[in-house]
Amino acid sequence: MNMAIEITELRKEFKGFTLENVTFSLPTGYIMGFVGKNGAGKTTTIRLILNMLERSGGVVKIFGLDNRTDEQRIKQDTAVVFDDIFFVGTWSVSEVERAVRGFYRRWNTALFNEYLRRFELPADKKVNDLSRGMKMKLMLAVAMSHEAKILILDEPTSGLDPVARDELLDLLTEYISDGEKTILFSTHITADLEKVADYITLIDNGRIVYTGTKDDLLEGYFIVKGGPDDLSASLREKIIGVVMSRTGFSGLIAASETSHLSREYVLERPTIDDILVHISKAGTDNE
Amino acid sequence: MSNILKSVKLDHDIMKSRYLFFLIDGIGVLLAWITKVPMFGALVILVVSAPIIGQYFAVYDKNNLEKLYGILPLKKSEVVIGRYLFALCIIVINGIIAAIVAFVVSRLTHRPTGLAESLTYLSVGFAYACFTVAVIFPLYFKFSYSKVYVLSNLPFYVIFIIAFDLTRRTNLLAQADPAAQHLASNLTLPAIGFGLGLIFLALSCLLSCALVEGDQQAGARPQVQGTERRLYFADNLRTWMVILVVLQHVALLYNTLYLFMMLNQAYFMGLLFLLSGYFTPGSFKHKGPRKFLTDRLLRLGIPTLVYVFMLNPIASWGYRTMHSSATKAEVGHFALGPMWFLVMLLLFDLGYLALRTLVKNKPERQARPDSTKGLSFSAVALFMLALAAATYLLRIGVPYGIPVLDFPSLGYAAQYLSFFVIGILANRLGRLGAIPGSLGKLGFVVAILASVTLFPVAIVGSHSASLWIGYGSWQSAVFALWDAIFAVGMSLALITFFRRFFDGGKRPGRFMSGHSYIVYVIHVPIIILLTLALSGLHLQVSLKFSMAAVIGVPICFGIGWLIRKIPYVRTII
């Protein structure tokens, strides 16, 4: 399997936060959801992938190329959408195109104009005058107009209304349909990923807690629930992120541990959100 | 180049909305008109270039453009160089506006200004604007514009206003001494002004590149696990140092290029000791203590003996033939000559062997292969200060340039020993290949800055010619500080430069590095005989030096190649 992104033991030390030994890989032609709560290390990882930050250790390879020594080649094939617009506010939409097109060998003006038409973005409108959703669409139009092989999205849906989010997800599915493009989609809104992601990487407090297919993740865990007096010490050890309430407890448990459970416990299929919440809870409890 | 131009164009696109700031040139126009001294207005117009350019960084901060540059396929250095070129364009445009304003106002006020005088003022304004940009740009690249804007700009405006107030009532050039007026009239002064401005920008550009690239180059070259990659750049650097030794001795023979010789002297032998130190632990590890000792005695001892008893008599005969006044005390039959390096290296190697024997041959600790922690500038700065202090103290007893026991530069002993030890430590920590490229650029900038500040202070500040060479004078302390900064800075710059551009193991490079040691041993009699052969030519000394250098270096390598064809020579040298 050809790997679009391979990250091995990536480290970055800040005062008060360390991204520790982040390791995951994403095969070509798939969408990976990069999930974690705010401040978990998603944006730091993306900035390290883009060589916008100096790493403390580890290796980042994009299509087998080192992201530092082959930075320019990689960036010709990489498109990025951040959570907020990064064009000059006084530029018009058409000026944005004029400013960036010269940097890309495979820039396609016709395709850019096609996206403007589809997104209903007026070419003469100033960036400052665009709505939040329109700004995101402008970044997408730029990202998708130079035939990039990897699309990296850093929290693109935060602040978008449900309709705009749905449009974006449809667009991503369409973008990846030729099997040659790859998407790394960082978000803390996990509902988006249930729909489109093939792979999931969960990050919590600078550490990767899961990386693999979405199906393995969802099938690999259950939410276990029980009464207030049902939580034995041995069971507590097996549960990730126990949440106690007056009516009982709930937590995440590995599917392999469920065969020994008696019938008094309730098992439910978790959502990615459930998994993220309980893993974060476990991380907080351990600190 | 094309990416740099694209970067300049992007800077222009980003700056478009702030070009209205050129209207502050109006202050200069107003001033020229009110004072009736057009050149003062022109100066102001040039000086306000810096705040106009600063607007770029304001736009950058406001619009998250760090992210835009983060996604574009541009090297960080291309962005920096582009930004400096863009700044230069703004200064040049303002210079043109200033010249036009000065011309028009002088016509309207009937106060014509001569071309030489105009150009002198414009060049001063240009140099000042470039200097301002050169100081504030690295700060803008390192910190947020809004945080440093006021503090970084304020001193320049204050200095300008004070200087302006001091000079506004008089014609500056008319008050200047005749030498300055002469320089201004033949356009030397304007050329210096424009040249200085460009040098300020170039040095600042290097510094900014170093700041934004950080440790990008450090450890960038992947190493196959379990293999020790040959450091071709170290071989090539050693070859270049040996060539510099040959050129140094040619210059010495012709008694010319003193500055070249002083600058060389400050770092090149130290760097040779560093490279020797770097390869010492590997040699010890492969050969073991006994073979290491035998090998060092043979490889360093035999060439020394050959030089002292065979080559030096030839060299001294040639030298005495050229300089009939030379006494036997100056050029003895049997002398160490450049072999002092081999003798000192042998002493250092024996010291290393003794130390390793004391610690019972414990293997050298190697750095973790994934370690990307580079050398920090603060560590380098501390070392510079320590080396300067040690050199200063040493030169109280052993002044610069005074030979002791056939060792011509014992005043550098602190540098030689410390560089040798650093070489060993660099091998242990795997640091020679992991010195950040940015540190090399920073080293170069610091070396140049020290050379234009400390070096002249030490030399010019000496009332007596001998003060700066030692004896505990303050001039000697300044010179030792320059020495240390220049040696460390140039060494860092050359190591990173050779690693970046000369790390190939191509055949010519391999040939030259394979023969650099023998060239070091045999070059003295060869270049003396060559200069003897050229002595009949009636040419300028500098031309003779160039000829001897161009002919001498290949001859040395050629003869070295022939000698190494002799059986068993290759095993020694």
pLDDT in tens, B326-343: 555 566 677 788 889 999
Give yes or no for A68 touching B (CB within 8 A). yes
pLDDT of amino acid B223 = 43
Q: For B73, which residue in chain A has the nearest alpha carbon?
A: A72
Q: For B68, which residue in chain A has the nearest alpha carbon?
A: A86
Which residues lie below 8 Å from residue B58, measured CB to CB, with a gap of 6+?
Answer: B18, B145, B146, B149
Please indicate, yes or no, whether residues B141 and B264 belong to a single structural domain of this protein: no
Q: Give the domain-ending residue among B162, B185, B213.
A: B213
pLDDT of amino acid B220 = 43
Task: Select from B340, B319, B338 the least CA-distant residue to B329.
Answer: B319
Contacts of A98 in chain B (CB under 8 A): 13
Instruction: Assess if residue B373 is contained within a domain.
Output: no
pLDDT of B572 over the 90 cut: no
Q: How many residues does this entry show for chain A? A: 287
User: pTM to 2 decimals?
Assistant: 0.70
Q: For B213, which residue in chain A has the nearest alpha carbon?
A: A54
- Band (pLDDT 50/70/90 cuts) for residue B491 is very high
What is the rounded distance in angstroms from the CA atom of residue A189 to the CA atom of residue A38?
10
B140-152 average pLDDT score: 81
Please indicate, yes or no, whether residues B175 and B284 belong to a single structural domain of this protein: no
What is the rounded distance in angstroms from the CA atom of residue B501 to the CA atom of residue B49?
36
Q: What does the DSSP 8-state code read for residue B301?
A: I
- Smallest Cβ distance to B75: which of A72, A88, A100? A72
Contact A80 B70 (CB under 8 A): yes
Q: What does the DSSP 8-state code read for residue B308?
A: I
pLDDT of amino acid B380 = 87
Please indicate, yes or no, whether residues B192 and B283 belong to a single structural domain of this protein: no
DSSP letters spanning A75-139: HHTEEEE-SS--S-TT-BHHHHHHHHGGG-TT--HHHHHHHHHHHT--TTSBGGGS-HHHHHHHH
Please indicate, yes or no, whether residues B427 and B345 belong to a single structural domain of this protein: yes
Instruction: Assess if residue B371 is contained within a domain.
Output: no
pLDDT of amino acid B178 = 62
pLDDT of amino acid B183 = 60
pLDDT of amino acid B448 = 87
B245-258 average pLDDT score: 88
Please indicate, yes or no, whether residues B199 and B239 belong to a single structural domain of this protein: no
Contact A88 B222 (CB under 8 A): no
Q: For A10, which residue in chain B has the nearest alpha carbon?
A: B370
Give yes or no for A247 touching B (CB within 8 A). no
Percent of chain B with pLDDT over 90: 20
**Most confident listed range (A25-29, A173-177, B372-376):** A25-29
pLDDT of B404 over the 80 cut: yes
Whether the complex's predicted ipTM is more than 0.85 is answered with yes
Please indicate, yes or no, whether residues B201 and B244 belong to a single structural domain of this protein: no
The distance of B218 to chain A (nearest Cα, Å) reads 10
Q: What is the pLDDT of residues B104-118, one digit of tens each?
A: 888 887 777 777 778
The distance of B457 to chain A (nearest Cα, Å) reads 39
Please indicate, yes or no, whether residues B411 and B337 belong to a single structural domain of this protein: yes
Contact B14 A56 (CB under 8 A): no
pLDDT of amino acid B274 = 93
Percent of chain B with pLDDT over 70: 87
Quick count: other Cβ atoms within 10 Å of Cβ B558?
13
The distance of A111 to chain B (nearest Cα, Å) reads 19
Contacts of A56 in chain B (CB under 8 A): 372-373
Q: Give the domain-ending residue among B155, B181, B213.
A: B213
Please indicate, yes or no, whether residues B22 and B163 belong to a single structural domain of this protein: yes
A40-49 average pLDDT score: 92
Q: For A83, which residue in chain B has the nearest alpha carbon?
A: B67
- Band (pLDDT 50/70/90 cuts) for residue A78 is very high
Give yes or no for A78 touching B (CB within 8 A). yes
Which position has the higher pLDDT, A33 or B572?
A33
Q: What is the pLDDT of residues B547-562, one digit of tens each?
A: 888 888 898 999 888 8
Q: For B15, which residue in chain A has the nearest alpha carbon?
A: A88
pLDDT of A121 over the 70 cut: yes
Q: Determine the residue type at A15.
A: K
Please indicate, yes or no, whether residues B318 and B207 belong to a single structural domain of this protein: no
What is the rounded distance in angstroms from the CA atom of residue B237 to the CA atom of residue A173?
54
Contact B215 A54 (CB under 8 A): yes
Lowest-pLDDT choice from A124-133, A179-188, B48-57, B158-167? B158-167
Give yes or no for B434 touching A (CB within 8 A). no
Q: Which domain holds residue B274?
A: 232-363+380-572
Contacts of A75 in chain B (CB under 8 A): 71-74
pLDDT of amino acid B365 = 58
Q: For A43, which residue in chain B has the nearest alpha carbon?
A: B67
pLDDT of amino acid B108 = 83
pLDDT of amino acid B262 = 86
Which position has the higher pLDDT, B315 or B165?
B315
Contacts of B72 in chain A (CB under 8 A): 75, 100, 103
pLDDT of B430 over the 70 cut: no
Contacts of B70 in chain A (CB under 8 A): 47, 50-52, 80
Contact A90 B65 (CB under 8 A): no
Please indicate, yes or no, whether residues B459 and B531 belong to a single structural domain of this protein: yes
Give yes or no for A122 touching B (CB within 8 A). no
Size of interface A-B (CB pairs under 8 A): 82
A205-231 average pLDDT score: 87
Instruction: Suggest the residue from A20, A53, A54 to mutate for an interface test with chain B (most B CBs closer than 10 A).
Output: A54
Q: Which residues of chain A from 157 to 176 reach within 8 Å of chain B, CB to CB?
A: none
What is the rounded distance in angstroms from the CA atom of residue B226 to the CA atom of residue B312?
45
Instruction: Assess if residue B17 is contained within a domain.
Output: yes
**Most confident listed range (A157-161, A234-238, A260-264):** A234-238
Terminal Cα distance for chain A, rounded: 38
| Residue linked to tokens 């005969």 | B317
Q: What is the pLDDT of residues B457-476, one digit of tens each?
A: 887 766 666 778 888 888 88
Contact B67 A86 (CB under 8 A): yes
- Band (pLDDT 50/70/90 cuts) for residue B319 is confident
Contacts of A57 in chain B (CB under 8 A): 370-372
B59-70 average pLDDT score: 90
Q: For A95, which residue in chain B has the nearest alpha carbon?
A: B13
- Band (pLDDT 50/70/90 cuts) for residue B363 is low
Domains held by chain B: number: 2
Percent of chain A with pLDDT over 70: 98
A171-184 average pLDDT score: 87
Contact B216 A54 (CB under 8 A): yes
Contact A78 B71 (CB under 8 A): yes
- Band (pLDDT 50/70/90 cuts) for residue A80 is very high
pLDDT of A59 over the 80 cut: yes
pLDDT of A20 over the 80 cut: yes
Contacts of B215 in chain A (CB under 8 A): 54
pLDDT of B361 over the 70 cut: no
- Band (pLDDT 50/70/90 cuts) for residue A191 is confident
pLDDT of B171 over the 80 cut: no
The distance of A228 to chain B (nearest Cα, Å) reads 49
Give yes or no for B367 touching A (CB within 8 A). no
Lowest-pLDDT choice from A140-154, B239-253, B328-342? B328-342
Contact A72 B16 (CB under 8 A): no
pLDDT of amino acid B217 = 47
Contacts of B65 in chain A (CB under 8 A): 86, 88
Please indicate, yes or no, whether residues B261 and B203 belong to a single structural domain of this protein: no
| Residue linked to tokens 């050969």 | B287
pLDDT of B161 over the 80 cut: no
Give yes or no for A137 touching B (CB within 8 A). no
B255-265 average pLDDT score: 85
Q: Helix A132-143 crosses helix A109-119 at what angle (to 10 degrees)? A: 160
Give yes or no for A79 touching B (CB within 8 A). yes
Contact B64 A90 (CB under 8 A): no
pLDDT of B345 over the 50 cut: yes
Question: Per CATH, is A3-216 categorized as 3.40.50.300?
Answer: yes
- Band (pLDDT 50/70/90 cuts) for residue B374 is low
Contact B147, B94 (CB under 8 A): no
Instruction: Suggest the residue from B63, B212, B368 to mutate for an interface test with chain A (most A CBs closer than 10 A).
Output: B63
pLDDT of amino acid B435 = 79
Q: Which two tokens stand for residue A248?
A: 């009982």
Give yes or no for A99 touching B (CB within 8 A). yes
pLDDT of amino acid A111 = 92
- Band (pLDDT 50/70/90 cuts) for residue B221 is very low
pLDDT of B179 over the 80 cut: no
Please indicate, yes or no, whether residues B192 and B253 belong to a single structural domain of this protein: no
- Band (pLDDT 50/70/90 cuts) for residue B169 is low
Average pLDDT of chain A?
87
Contact A88 B372 (CB under 8 A): no
Instruction: Assess if residue B358 is contained within a domain.
Output: yes
Q: Which residues of chain B from 55 to 114 reach within 8 Å of chain A, CB to CB?
A: 59, 62-68, 70-75
Question: Which ranges in chain A are annotated with CATH 3.40.50.300?
Answer: 3-216
Contact A87 B68 (CB under 8 A): yes
Contact B338, B556 (CB under 8 A): no
Contact A86 B72 (CB under 8 A): no
Instruction: Assess if residue B315 is contained within a domain.
Output: yes
Strand arrangement of the beta sheet that strand A57-62 belongs to: A17-27, A3-14, A57-62, A65-66
pLDDT of amino acid A141 = 92
Quick count: other Cβ atoms within 10 Å of Cβ B242?
25
The distance of B67 to chain A (nearest Cα, Å) reads 6
Contacts of A86 in chain B (CB under 8 A): 63-68, 71
